[in-house]
Protein backbone atom coordinates (compact mmCIF):
# COMPACT_ATOMS: atom_id res chain seq x y z
CA UNK A 1 0.00 0.00 0.00
CA UNK A 2 1.36 3.41 -0.95
CA UNK A 3 1.97 5.91 1.81
CA UNK A 4 2.24 8.72 -0.74
CA UNK A 5 -1.46 8.95 -1.62
CA UNK A 6 -2.75 12.52 -1.69
CA UNK A 7 0.67 14.12 -1.96
CA UNK A 8 2.81 15.24 -4.86
CA UNK A 9 6.37 14.53 -5.77
CA UNK A 10 8.65 14.51 -8.78
CA UNK A 11 6.80 13.93 -12.06
CA UNK A 12 8.92 10.85 -12.68
CA UNK A 13 10.49 8.70 -10.00
CA UNK A 14 11.30 5.08 -9.49
CA UNK A 15 14.05 2.61 -8.95
CA UNK A 16 16.90 1.55 -11.15
CA UNK A 17 16.40 -2.04 -12.22
CA UNK A 18 19.27 -4.52 -12.05
CA UNK A 19 21.66 -3.86 -14.95
CA UNK A 20 20.21 -0.39 -15.72
CA UNK A 21 21.96 2.95 -15.55
CA UNK A 22 20.30 6.07 -14.14
CA UNK A 23 19.93 7.36 -17.72
CA UNK A 24 18.10 4.25 -18.92
CA UNK A 25 15.93 4.10 -15.78
CA UNK A 26 14.73 7.71 -16.08
CA UNK A 27 13.64 7.14 -19.69
CA UNK A 28 11.87 3.90 -18.75
CA UNK A 29 10.11 5.50 -15.78
CA UNK A 30 9.05 8.53 -17.88
CA UNK A 31 7.48 6.15 -20.37
CA UNK A 32 5.84 3.94 -17.71
CA UNK A 33 4.43 6.77 -15.58
CA UNK A 34 3.69 9.48 -18.15
CA UNK A 35 3.72 7.76 -21.54
CA UNK A 36 6.62 9.91 -22.77
CA UNK A 37 8.95 8.62 -25.45
CA UNK A 38 12.67 9.19 -25.87
CA UNK A 39 11.82 11.50 -28.78
CA UNK A 40 9.85 13.79 -26.43
CA UNK A 41 12.35 14.18 -23.59
CA UNK A 42 16.09 14.45 -23.22
CA UNK A 43 16.88 14.09 -19.52
CA UNK A 44 20.03 15.88 -18.43
CA UNK A 45 21.83 14.49 -15.38
CA UNK A 46 22.33 17.09 -12.65
CA UNK A 47 23.49 15.37 -9.52
CA UNK A 48 23.43 12.18 -7.45
CA UNK A 49 22.29 12.21 -3.83
CA UNK A 50 23.17 9.37 -1.47
CA UNK A 51 21.19 8.85 1.70
CA UNK A 52 22.95 6.35 3.95
CA UNK A 53 19.88 5.88 6.13
CA UNK A 54 16.72 6.48 4.10
CA UNK A 55 13.39 6.48 5.95
CA UNK A 56 13.02 2.79 5.14
CA UNK A 57 16.39 2.12 6.82
CA UNK A 58 18.23 1.32 3.60
CA UNK A 59 20.91 3.17 1.66
CA UNK A 60 19.36 4.96 -1.32
CA UNK A 61 20.86 6.77 -4.28
CA UNK A 62 18.82 9.37 -6.13
CA UNK A 63 19.76 10.61 -9.58
CA UNK A 64 18.50 14.12 -10.26
CA UNK A 65 17.64 14.90 -13.87
CA UNK A 66 15.82 17.67 -15.67
CA UNK A 67 14.41 18.02 -19.15
CA UNK A 68 13.00 21.02 -20.96
CA UNK A 69 9.61 20.18 -22.42
CA UNK A 70 6.92 22.29 -24.08
CA UNK A 71 3.99 23.18 -21.82
CA UNK A 72 1.54 21.55 -24.25
CA UNK A 73 3.15 18.16 -23.59
CA UNK A 74 0.57 17.67 -20.81
CA UNK A 75 -2.05 17.18 -23.55
CA UNK A 76 -0.19 14.07 -24.75
CA UNK A 77 0.56 12.48 -21.38
CA UNK A 78 -0.78 9.01 -20.64
CA UNK A 79 -0.79 8.82 -16.85
CA UNK A 80 -0.25 5.48 -15.13
CA UNK A 81 -3.15 5.66 -12.67
CA UNK A 82 -1.38 3.49 -10.05
CA UNK A 83 1.54 5.92 -10.01
CA UNK A 84 0.26 9.36 -11.05
CA UNK A 85 -3.15 10.87 -10.28
CA UNK A 86 -2.57 14.33 -11.71
CA UNK A 87 0.04 16.44 -13.46
CA UNK A 88 0.08 20.20 -13.43
CA UNK A 89 2.50 23.06 -13.97
CA UNK A 90 3.78 25.09 -11.02
CA UNK A 91 5.69 28.33 -10.94
CA UNK A 92 9.14 27.86 -9.47
CA UNK A 93 8.20 29.88 -6.38
CA UNK A 94 5.13 27.72 -5.76
CA UNK A 95 7.24 24.58 -5.78
CA UNK A 96 9.83 26.16 -3.49
CA UNK A 97 7.05 27.06 -1.06
CA UNK A 98 5.72 23.49 -1.09
CA UNK A 99 9.24 22.12 -0.59
CA UNK A 100 9.92 24.41 2.36
CA UNK A 101 10.89 22.41 5.43
CA UNK A 102 8.01 24.04 7.38
CA UNK A 103 5.40 22.97 4.85
CA UNK A 104 3.46 19.78 5.52
CA UNK A 105 0.99 20.19 2.71
CA UNK A 106 1.01 17.97 -0.34
CA UNK A 107 4.71 17.12 -0.59
CA UNK A 108 6.01 13.69 0.31
CA UNK A 109 7.53 14.44 3.71
CA UNK A 110 10.53 12.15 3.27
CA UNK A 111 11.46 13.94 0.03
CA UNK A 112 11.83 17.47 1.44
CA UNK A 113 15.60 17.23 1.72
CA UNK A 114 15.79 15.86 -1.81
CA UNK A 115 13.66 18.73 -3.18
CA UNK A 116 15.92 21.27 -1.50
CA UNK A 117 18.87 19.64 -3.27
CA UNK A 118 16.99 19.71 -6.57
CA UNK A 119 16.49 23.47 -6.28
CA UNK A 120 20.11 24.01 -5.40
CA UNK A 121 21.25 22.10 -8.49
CA UNK A 122 18.69 23.70 -10.82
CA UNK A 123 19.65 27.29 -9.94
CA UNK A 124 22.23 27.64 -12.74
CA UNK A 125 19.58 26.60 -15.29
CA UNK A 126 16.67 28.79 -14.20
CA UNK A 127 16.03 32.49 -14.05
CA UNK A 128 15.00 33.93 -10.69
Residue 20: the pLDDT is 92
Residue 1: the pLDDT is 38
Statement: the pTM of the whole predicted model exceeds 0.85: no
The 3-state DSSP class for residue 28 equals: helix
Residue 111: the pLDDT is 61
Residue 4: the pLDDT is 57
Task: Determine the distance from the C-alpha atom of residue 124 to the mean position of all C-alpha atoms in its chain, rounded to a whole number.
Answer: 18
Give per-residue pLDDT as tens, 6-16. Answer: 666 667 777 88
> 90 burial class (0-12, 13-18, 19+ CB within 10 angstroms)?
exposed
Paired with 66 in beta bridges are: 44
Element (H, E) at 51: strand 44-51
Give per-residue pLDDT as tens, 77-115. Answer: 888 888 778 887 877 777 777 666 555 554 555 566 666
The chain-wide mean pLDDT, for the chain, equals 75
| CA–CA gap between residue 81 and residue 67 (Å, rounded) | 22
- 43 close to 67: Cβ distance less than 8 angstroms: yes
How far is the first Cα of the chain from the last one, in angstroms, to the nearest whole number?
Answer: 39
Paired with 107 in beta bridges are: 8
| CA–CA gap between residue 83 and residue 77 (Å, rounded) | 13
Q: Check: CATH 3.30.1300.10 for 22-125? A: no
Where residue 28 falls among pLDDT bands split at 50, 70, 90? very high
Give per-residue pLDDT as tens, 29-44. Answer: 899 888 998 888 888 8
Amino acid sequence: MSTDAGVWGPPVSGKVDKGETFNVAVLREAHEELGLTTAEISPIFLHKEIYANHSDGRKREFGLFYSIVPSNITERLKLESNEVAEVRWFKKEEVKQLADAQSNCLIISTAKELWQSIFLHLQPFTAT
